[in-house]
Structure 1
Amino acid sequence: MARNIQGSIPVADIVSGEVVRRGRPVRITGEFGDRDAHAVTVSGGGSADVSFEGDALVVDTSRLSIGGHTIRVDGVPAEGKGKGRQDASFDVVVVDTPAVVDDDLAVLHATRMRIGDLEIESLPMGAGAEGVFRDVFKAISRDGEKAVTLAFDQIGERIDIDEELAALAKRRQERYGRVEPALFERLEHGGDVEVAVWASTRDVDLPEPEKSDRRAAGKAGRADAARRKEWNALGEKLAEVSRQFGLDPERVDQAAPVVYGRLPADAVRKLAEHELVAGVFRYDREGFDDLGDSIAVHNSDDAHTAGFTGSGVNVAVYEPGPDVTTNLTISARYQAGGSTSSHARMTHGIIRNSERNRPHGHAPDANLFSANSYDLDAIRWAAQDQGCTVISQSFHRDAEQTSDSLSHDDNYKDWLALHWPYPTIVEAAGNGGSTEFVNHKGYNRLTVGSHNDSASAMASDSVFRNPKSSHADRELPEVAGNGVGVSVLSLTDSGTSFAAPAVAGIAACVQQAAPVLQSWPEGTRAVLMASAWRNPSGGRWRADLVAGVDGRDGAGTVDAERSTSIARSRQGRDNAGALRGFDVGTLRSADLDGSGRTTFRYRITTPRTPLFFGSHVKVALAWDSQATRTDILFLSIYQNTLTVDLDLEVRDSAGSLVASSASWDNSYEIAEFDAKAGETYDVRIRRWSGSDDVWFGIAWTQISTLFDIFGSVQTAPVIELGG
């Protein structure tokens, strides 16, 4: 850390980013005097009293607001020749909790939940929570070697949270069996219902998909064809069994072990009890467009100037086809004819168009495909028949607005992301009121919220309400894009519908810059999140999450120029140190030490000369839900859940923790910190729980805190996409 005016090294009794109970004093030791107390500032809301006690400056957190704060010790003119000025800063997240954690542990993540008879309710970590609740923490020893989960009740007594969650799972099993809860409630009305039936693959012995971390997958191989053949055969067997229960099979899926059809409501539970059935879900074939731009706000023009236009990347738009195809170049369509809309004209055109004297979209040289149907078979066609590695969706099913859990569509698309060609699927979060859930809730894709033309505010109707999850800390959407006042192909409209294809187009540019990412949606997701250096709403992702603030913008606004710069800087494990970079690969148990941390690390080195007044570093990690890969059965129920929980840690050259991200229920983590000039930081992944091998992507970049904010945002002209 930086030295104070008298030459000592200021040291805080917290690690940077630590979660502390409001009222807990933060002590910063060094050769300070009374006159140095005035040099301490605390940002983030509320007020803090600073006093000098012994050899320490003491920051009282009693009047700080809940959420993230930065405690900064600003340098003052030093006594003595050549002393200069020095600063030091420490991040902290303040919460209100009755729990008291031992001083030898540092809390890195916190969540508050209320466990009901069948559901979990997420609560903010502030004062005034009534009734029974649980505060759950991830904590590590101050040397980082020990990791522990702690849970307390509403009066601060320790409880066994694993036991309580297991009891909840048992109650849900007894209530729903293998029937999706949303479908279970529908059965009470009787009549026939449309269902999607997943087959159990417990007895199927097929090797897991493998992909190179050095090159794109290209065409489907023999192993991919063998798996598809096996899933199809299993589906045909399931269809035959289902007929015995009154199901009239409409279609056996060609990509996953699923059968679709109509079934009398009173027969659903009986079918669900069959040993060949893993789960029965509601199937909805209808879709509703997500209605409610600029190339410049995403810096896509800079990426294009650098030569990254999506060339060679296959991109699909999944929804009915465009009503007018003038100025659209479409490589292939799922079906001839079919329904069309002006909405689809815009979503196609935002990615690629040939309108004269107008910007030609975010990926003007991509190969554009139209998966022109609401049917799930259209997205399967785009991925597995056409080899599209980026797919944009801007519609939702009716029940996805009101359901707090994953739908059959979510399970199916997560499955697609785990099989050749491993597409990056980008979806609109939805538009509506505060009671509406983010429409798409899968783990292996990207959900996009909508912001204005300057990335200074989120659209008021951009949906951000989170789904239910086991530890009540799931956070959606993951990123944000411009969806307000978008103009293209003689049309202008607003909504998350138009933010999603903007991000999809940028994803294509990223995959052109690093072709290996065409087979690594985990890496594409990480690169896009790491590039998001502007937050149109709220504070930093991690601080908001810990405080229980439902984030509207996710990681922030995706930036094409930054994304492609990151994608051009592939780094390997134990790299020498780089300002920006990414990597992809498989994380195995053999890669971990006794503390659960990777034996390898990624190194970030900042320039010796600071850019203006300092820099900010953002690191993103993404991985997959494994449940859809081999049909994991949890308590005899098919569920798409995370089986591996990964966290991020960043330490400086002295070994001090400077940033972390340690949520439970997300398939990504985001760590941020203000960096020092000429420093090298080590980034390591910690596996908090689980034992499966898992694919992951990691990415990072540095941001000049003054130049980028004033240079890129305020002086860049807004360029519309047409119209």
Structure 2
Amino acid sequence: MPPSSRSTREEPAVHISIPLTLSLSLAAGASRPEAEPDAVSVAAHLHALDAARLVSEHEVEVSLPRTGRDFRRAKVRDTETQLLIDVAWDATGRAVDAEQVLRAEAAARRASLGKKTPVLAARLTEAAPDETIPVAIWLHADPISIALPARELPGASDAETRHEKEFRLAELRTTAEEAQREITSRLRMLGGEIRYASALAPLIYVDLPAAAVAEVESDESIDHLYDAWSDNADELDIQSCATNVDPGVWAYGLTGAGVVVAHVEDSRADRDNTCLVCDMGANKPTHINVDQHSTACTGMMVSSNITYKGIAHGACFYSANGGSYSDSDMAGAIDAGAANADLQSHSWGFTTNGQLNEHDRHIDYIVRNARVFADDSAGNSGNSNYLTSPGNGFNICTVANYDDRNTCDGVDDIMSSSSSGRDPISPNGDREKPEVAGPGTNITSLTLASPGTCPTSSVGSGTSYSAPVIGGIAAICMEADPGLKLWPEALKALLMASGVHNIEGDRRLSELDGTGGVDGTVAATSAVAGRWKGGVLEAADFSGGHLEKAIGHVSAGKRLKVVVCWDSNPNAGYTDDPLEADIDLDLIDPLGAVIASSSSYDNSYEVVDVDVTTAGIYRVRLSYRTWAGESEYVAGAWTISSP
């Protein structure tokens, strides 16, 4: 986030890895350069380099509430070696060991809160010993095997993707059961009532006496304790033409056929509405909670209504309904959506003031390990207010709401003033959410029906209605290339790279619309053309600190947008920084020159966006500052469109 909107609220602790040799070492406490300190002068002074060969590419301002430390940090490129130098300095210009300072902040947080969230810790200080406290417990678990064939060309079949997913779901169920077995018995002995034990993740929801929480916290099998009494809620035409799906994509014959989409919220869609055709069931099929919100959102993806047709009207749907918005019921809905669909679209959430919660972690775990794409509504708290969870997660694609003004050409589109835009809190303060935007204002969709009818009506506005639009485009991309069903990182990258409709700010990436409004035709044609690559990478794959891949020929006069995405690791400490890799992206033109780069600290993606002036073969080059895990799912996608 920009320094002007930088949060001074409590930041989560951070997990920091020793920097790779790619980032030149600092001498903490070294004296300031003679000139007024800035990124270039500090880097030149510390490394005895000519400032003329240095360019600052990314700068952040860091404020740490528990240790009271403030400093600036930057990635500076040495244009002669093309290496990025990571530098940090305080107000006096003296070098700061950023890694050490961030570790100290993490330690201070743990010393104060232990394994508890700040909200849970505060409630426990006021609770009577016998007061019942709803708690979500994330357990230590064995890591899931991270093995997947590298994808350089299209070719994965539906049968291959189904087999791989079934294998992974079975492994997740076994891992969750083993992690939960012993602690479940202990929780009951302490007077706990189990509300839900996740079928796919090492996660348990339990009502515990306040006095028992401290005893449970000391259990070595427990990673973190979350407050579990959240006020989850819904996050409240011509969407198909505004996103350039109609006529472009449908005329191409792509409708989402062969794809199952899950809509996740408390209620289920109304099966009496005859325009919901291909029904694959529900998590709680007989539950009485059937409402217009779920019916409308599901209709935006799969409606067969001739006038208000769903974005992916050839897809089948699954209602991943929780029955209620209790945290435990919604965890069950998340698991059901992962087990029964190719992708899940979320239109619910609550404000956590920029903090990650157990739902963020749960969905990040599902995306990484079950290989299921997920999107979520950004929230309706206003442009200057925090996004809602589970949209704060790293592996989910969070969607903002823009107003298409009921026109198709896009020239008068504006961001909705209600769409939440304030970024999640992060160690270096530069996370950017949401990733993309979709039309969600003044929407008409399916409504509750009498048996055998297909009524539609104006259903209102909100990011709830933006998210299923992007879910529908994701389904179309999966039909175009079934290999995307196994690569949620690639699908997220492809959707972000298709954000070529700039609503506000910088067209590359900005505060409220992310990379921009997603153009369905750009996304679908890029999927058909196979404009993505994915692989399980290790540090050793970066020969000389770099990894280069050709993305093919691009003609002069075109716009080229490239995105690379990777995952957080929910098996790592989620009160710390869950990103085990910090990857940077360079775009190299046919002459071998770096013409664009992206090098944030706290995002799980990087983006470049250029107007092409030289025709020829373009390449991307990846490098990394830190690499703490053994391997990472990394995928890149690119789109070629008109400027």
Whole-Å Cα distance in 1 between the matches of residues 197 and 518 of structure 2? 38
RMSD over aligned CA atoms reads 2.3
Contiguous gaps of at least 5 residues in structure 1: 1-95, 120-131, 545-550, 571-580, 706-723
Whole-Å Cα distance in 2 between the matches of residues 207 and 432 of structure 1? 39
Q: 2:294 aligns with which of 326, 344, 353?
A: 344
Q: 2:491 aligns with which of 520, 524, 532?
A: 524
Q: 1:429 aligns with which of 362, 369, 378?
A: 378
Match of 1:394?
347
Whole-Å Cα distance in 2 between the matches of residues 679 and 205 of structure 1? 43
- Say whether residues 1:606 and 2:590 are aligned partners: no
- Say whether residues 1:444 and 2:410 are aligned partners: no
SS in 1 for 2:179: helix
User: Contact 2:383–2:419 at 8 Å: present in 1 too?
Assistant: no
Match of 1:457?
414
Whole-Å Cα distance in 2 between the matches of residues 227 and 507 of structure 1? 24
Match of 2:474?
507
SS in 2 for 1:378: helix
- Say whether residues 1:381 and 2:331 are aligned partners: no
User: Contact 1:97–1:135 at 8 Å: present in 2 too?
Assistant: no
SS in 2 for 1:300: coil
User: Contact 1:133–1:153 at 8 Å: present in 2 too?
Assistant: yes
User: Contact 2:380–2:463 at 8 Å: present in 1 too?
Assistant: yes
- Say whether residues 1:491 and 2:457 are aligned partners: yes
Whole-Å Cα distance in 2 between the matches of residues 246 and 194 of structure 1? 12
Q: 2:513 aligns with which of 537, 541, 553?
A: 553
Against the structure 1 CA distance between its residues 495 and 447, is the aligned structure 2 distance closer, same or farther, given a 3 Å change threshold?
A: same
Match of 2:424?
467
SS in 2 for 1:641: coil
AA in 2 matched with 1:428: S
AA in 1 matched with 2:204: V
Contiguous gaps of at least 5 residues in structure 2: 1-35, 45-50, 405-409, 447-455
Match of 1:575?
none
What is the Cα deviation at residue 423 of structure 1?
1.2
Whole-Å Cα distance in 2 between the matches of residues 257 and 372 of structure 1? 21
Whole-Å Cα distance in 1 between the matches of residues 114 and 183 of structure 2? 18
Match of 1:625?
568
AA in 1 matched with 2:392: K
What is the Cα deviation at residue 691 of structure 1?
4.1
What is the Cα deviation at residue 480 of structure 1?
0.2
Against the structure 1 CA distance between its residues 285 and 209, is the aligned structure 2 distance closer, same or farther, given a 3 Å change threshold?
A: farther
Q: 2:312 aligns with which of 336, 350, 363?
A: 363
Match of 1:198?
138
Match of 1:240?
185
Q: 2:282 aligns with which of 333, 339, 343?
A: 333
Q: 2:362 aligns with which of 412, 421, 425?
A: 412
Q: Which moved more, 1:254-263 or 1:234-243?
A: 234-243
Against the structure 1 CA distance between its residues 140 and 569, is the aligned structure 2 distance closer, same or farther, given a 3 Å change threshold?
A: same
Match of 2:62?
113
Task: Give matches, 1:539-578, under 5 Å.
Answer: 539-541=506-508, 551-570=511-530
Match of 2:197?
252
Against the structure 1 CA distance between its residues 657 and 205, is the aligned structure 2 distance closer, same or farther, given a 3 Å change threshold?
A: closer
Whole-Å Cα distance in 2 between the matches of residues 640 and 691 of structure 1? 11
Deviation per CA, 1:500-546, whole angstroms, max 9, x where unpaired?
A: 0000000000011110001110010011011111210111345x5xx
Percent identity between matched residues is: 28
Against the structure 1 CA distance between its residues 371 and 221, is the aligned structure 2 distance closer, same or farther, given a 3 Å change threshold?
A: closer
Match of 1:593?
543
What is the Cα deviation at residue 686 of structure 1?
1.2
What is the Cα deviation at residue 619 of structure 1?
0.5
- Say whether residues 1:289 and 2:240 are aligned partners: no
Residue correspondences, number: 559
Against the structure 1 CA distance between its residues 434 and 207, is the aligned structure 2 distance closer, same or farther, given a 3 Å change threshold?
A: closer
Match of 1:321?
268
What is the Cα deviation at residue 341 of structure 1?
1.8
User: Contact 1:328–1:352 at 8 Å: present in 2 too?
Assistant: yes
Whole-Å Cα distance in 2 between the matches of residues 225 and 501 of structure 1? 28
SS in 2 for 1:392: strand
SS in 2 for 1:346: helix
AA in 1 matched with 2:348: F
User: Contact 1:151–1:159 at 8 Å: present in 2 too?
Assistant: yes
RCO comparison, higher one (Cα < 8 Å, 6+): 2
Match of 1:218?
162
What is the Cα deviation at residue 162 of structure 1?
1.4
Whole-Å Cα distance in 1 between the matches of residues 261 and 82 of structure 2? 44
What is the Cα deviation at residue 180 of structure 1?
2.1
What is the Cα deviation at residue 390 of structure 1?
1.3
What is the Cα deviation at residue 616 of structure 1?
2.2
Whole-Å Cα distance in 2 between the matches of residues 198 and 683 of structure 1? 38
SS in 2 for 1:601: strand
Match of 1:279?
224
User: Contact 1:314–1:368 at 8 Å: present in 2 too?
Assistant: yes
Deviation per CA, 1:63-88, whole angstroms, max 9, x where unpaired?
A: xxxxxxxxxxxxxxxxxxxxxxxxxx
SS in 2 for 1:414: helix
What is the Cα deviation at residue 144 of structure 1?
3.7
Whole-Å Cα distance in 2 between the matches of residues 212 and 246 of structure 1? 48
Q: What TM-score do you get using the length of structure 1 for normalisation?
A: 0.74
Q: Highest CA radius of gyration, 1 or 2?
A: 1
User: Contact 2:173–2:200 at 8 Å: present in 1 too?
Assistant: yes
User: Contact 1:428–1:496 at 8 Å: present in 2 too?
Assistant: yes
Q: 2:113 aligns with which of 150, 157, 176?
A: 176
SS in 1 for 2:414: coil
Whole-Å Cα distance in 2 between the matches of residues 431 and 470 of structure 1? 25
SS in 2 for 1:327: coil
Whole-Å Cα distance in 1 between the matches of residues 297 and 623 of structure 2? 39
What is the Cα deviation at residue 232 of structure 1?
0.7
Whole-Å Cα distance in 2 between the matches of residues 105 and 510 of structure 1? 41
Against the structure 1 CA distance between its residues 217 and 299, is the aligned structure 2 distance closer, same or farther, given a 3 Å change threshold?
A: same
Whole-Å Cα distance in 1 between the matches of residues 83 and 608 of structure 2? 20
Q: 2:634 aligns with which of 675, 696, 703?
A: 696
User: Contact 1:346–1:491 at 8 Å: present in 2 too?
Assistant: no
Q: What TM-score do you get using the length of structure 2 for normalisation?
A: 0.83
Against the structure 1 CA distance between its residues 254 and 402, is the aligned structure 2 distance closer, same or farther, given a 3 Å change threshold?
A: closer
Deviation per CA, 1:205-247, whole angstroms, max 9, x where unpaired?
A: 7634546645252134456424422321321211112234432
Against the structure 1 CA distance between its residues 557 and 288, is the aligned structure 2 distance closer, same or farther, given a 3 Å change threshold?
A: same
Against the structure 1 CA distance between its residues 199 and 700, is the aligned structure 2 distance closer, same or farther, given a 3 Å change threshold?
A: same
